[in-house]
Amino acid sequence: MKTLKWNVDNNVDNLESNPQVVEAANLLKQNEVVAFPTETVYGLGANATSDEAIAKVYEAKGRPSDNPLIVHIADFSQLNELVLEIPNTAKKLIKKFWPGPLTIIFKVKSNAVSKKVTAGLDTVGIRMPDHRLALALINAANLPIAAPSANSSGKPSPTTAEHVKEDLNGRISGILDGGETGIGVESTVVDCTSEVPVILRPGGITKEAMEREIGNVEIDPALHENLESKPKAPGMKYTHYAPNAPVYLVDGQPEFIQQLVNKCHDEGLAVGVIATEETANMYDADVVRACGSREDLFTVANKLYDTLRSFNSKNVDIIYSEVFPTEGVGLAIMNRLEKAAGHKWIYGNESPKF
């Protein structure tokens, strides 16, 4: 399969009538799969009502079929067509955060979307992206678009069109290139079907921000457990975001991480370190990557996936990562890092088991 690539300036007028956007939208109408940018990461878009189209998404990504997909809409009328009801908590969150990086779980109308989108559940996750090109594409297609991240399943999510091409060239019909994404981690997923909303995946909209609008919001304990049942939201069950080399999260100061690096060097291993702007110059490792500033964790979120991907071209044997506080967007950062590491931690004077 030849993968088309269109470069589109997000700032031009009348994006919906842009010939390249129209061409991409027509492919979606034909149940083909097209990658496109959002304000979080690049999504792999397909007609959410078509079993044929959704099957192509799972095939392209190599994604387990019990992992549900998020549906992207561009108009509030589309929401009423898809869900049974809009709880009051959801209405308040929509008013404040849509368009934006917030996915809300609703009870889904019968046959409103492909059962492959919901993975057999009676709920569906929906969001309205805050990105002109994404909204233009959805409007031009006049369809609800199911769109997981546009990467091979388990690998770091793509924040540029080049990342998409690295993973999926020849496996999808097209890539709509709208430049680098902004936030860098996927949307927050919150389940509003229960009395107290529950965060199923932390992301760009923080728990604290939601609680200012609707009061108490819980965090699903399953975020910290190995799931045996069907996940209700993407990213809950399977290892994600992982570079080729094993990642270890290190709960320790830079001096302790350097000791681990030295031990690996003694054993002839090439070592990578994920650091911050404040600490990167403290390490003597084969590859050191600063993924942002501790003074502004949104910069870490923005560069996290690009940082993880960057190690794949450096042939390191092991990667040690600094850790971050779990307040605000730090919760999303640590959720992604724990997934990338397969929950492998080193504490105190422990040594890694290779």
Residues annotated in a binding site for L-threonine: 40, 72, 127, 147, 187
Structure tokens at 147: 């769109």
If asked whether residues 84 and 210 sit together in one domain, one would say yes
Tell me: do 17 and 121 sit in the same domain: yes
pLDDT interval class at 66 (50, 70, 90): confident
- Domain total of the chain: 2
Please identify, among 185, 209, 224, the residue that sits at the C-terminal boundary of a domain.
Answer: 224
Instruction: Output the six-digit token pair for 96.
Output: 């404040």
Cis before residue 99, ω within 30 degrees of 0? yes
Specify the pLDDT at position 225. 55
> What's 326's domain CATH number?
3.40.50.11030
Residue 226 contacts by C-beta under 8 Å, 6 or more apart in sequence?
A: none
| Consecutive H or E run containing 308 | helix 297-310
Average pLDDT, the chain: 92
In a shared domain, residues 150 and 256: no
Binding residues for ATP: 63, 67, 123, 149, 157, 201, 241
Q: Answer yes or no: do 122 and 268 share one domain.
A: no
Residues 170 and 269 in one domain: no
**Statement to judge: residues 35 and 78 lie in one domain:** yes
Residue bearing the bigger pLDDT, 210 or 184: 210
The answer to whether residue 326 sits within a structural domain is yes
pLDDT of 232 reads 53
Please, where are the H alpha helices in 110-216?
115-118, 132-141, 161-168, 207-214
CATH number where 58 lies: 3.90.870.10
Q: Is residue 233 part of a domain?
A: no
- Same domain as 211, residue 130: yes
pTM greater than 0.75: yes
Is the pLDDT reported for residue 248 higher than 70?
Answer: yes
Binding-site residues from annotation: 40, 63, 67, 72, 123, 127, 147, 149, 157, 187, 201, 241
Distance (Å, whole) CA 102 – CA 105:
10
Question: Quick check: helix, strand or coil at residue 105?
Answer: strand
Q: Please check whether residue 207 lies inside any domain of the structure.
A: yes
**Residue 33 included in any domain:** yes
Longest CA–CA separation in the chain, Å? 62
Q: What percent of the chain has pLDDT over 90?
A: 83
pLDDT in the model for residue 234? 53
Q: How confident is the model at residue 192 (pLDDT cuts 50, 70, 90)?
A: very high
| Boundaries of domain holding 317 | 247-347
Q: What is the pLDDT of residue 242?
A: 81
Model pLDDT, residue 289:
98
Task: Assess whether pLDDT exceeds 90 at residue 2.
Answer: yes
Residues 220 and 295 occupy one common structural domain: no
The angle at the Cα of 35, spanning 133 to 292, to the nearest 5 degrees, equals 75
Under DSSP, is residue 31 helix (H, G, I), strand (E, B) or coil? Answer: coil
Record the tokens describing residue 258, joined without a space. Answer: 């350097």
Buried b (16+ CB within 10 A) or exposed e, 259-269: ebbeebeeeee
Q: Is 231 a member of any domain? A: no
Is residue 22, in this structure, part of any structural domain at all? yes
* Per-residue model confidence as pLDDT tens digits over 272-308: 999 999 999 999 999 999 999 999 999 999 999 999 9
**Mean pLDDT of all residues in 15-35:** 96
- Reading the block at residue 290, the tokens are 């600063």
pLDDT band at 333 (very low <50, low <70, confident <90, very high): very high
Tell whether 174 and 280 lie within a shared domain. no
Residue 351 pLDDT: 54
Concatenating the DSSP letter of every residue in 151-164 gives S-TTSPPPSSHHHH
Mean pLDDT of 256-281: 97
Is pLDDT at 229 greater than 80 in this prediction? no
Per the domain annotation, does 353 fall within a domain? no
pLDDT of residue 13: 85
DSSP state of 38: -
Task: Answer yes or no: is pLDDT of 237 > 50.
Answer: no
Q: Is the residue at 285 inside a domain?
A: yes
**Does the structure show a pLDDT above 90 at 178?**
yes
Residue-level pLDDT at 240: 65
Residues 6+ apart with CB under 8 A from 343: none
Band of pLDDT at residue 236, cut at 50, 70 and 90: very low
- Per-residue pLDDT for 352 more than 60? no
Contact 353, 323 (CB under 8 A): no
The predicted model gives 250-267 an average pLDDT of 96
Same domain membership, residue 255 and residue 288: yes
Provide mean pLDDT across the span 262-274.
97
Whether residues 217 and 252 share a domain: the answer is: no
Question: Would the pLDDT of 227 be above 50?
Answer: no
Q: Which of 109, 104, 70, 76 has the alpha carbon at shortest distance from 90? A: 104
Per-residue model confidence (pLDDT) at position 12: 82
pLDDT score of 222: 79
Find the helix or strand (DSSP H, E) in which 60 lies: helix 51-61
Q: What is the pLDDT of residue 155?
A: 86
Final residue of a structural domain among 191, 224, 257: 224
pLDDT the model gives residue 231: 47
- What pLDDT, in 10s, does the model give residues 207-217? 999 999 999 99
The SS3 assignment for 262 reads helix
Check whether residue 51 and residue 147 sit in a common domain.
yes
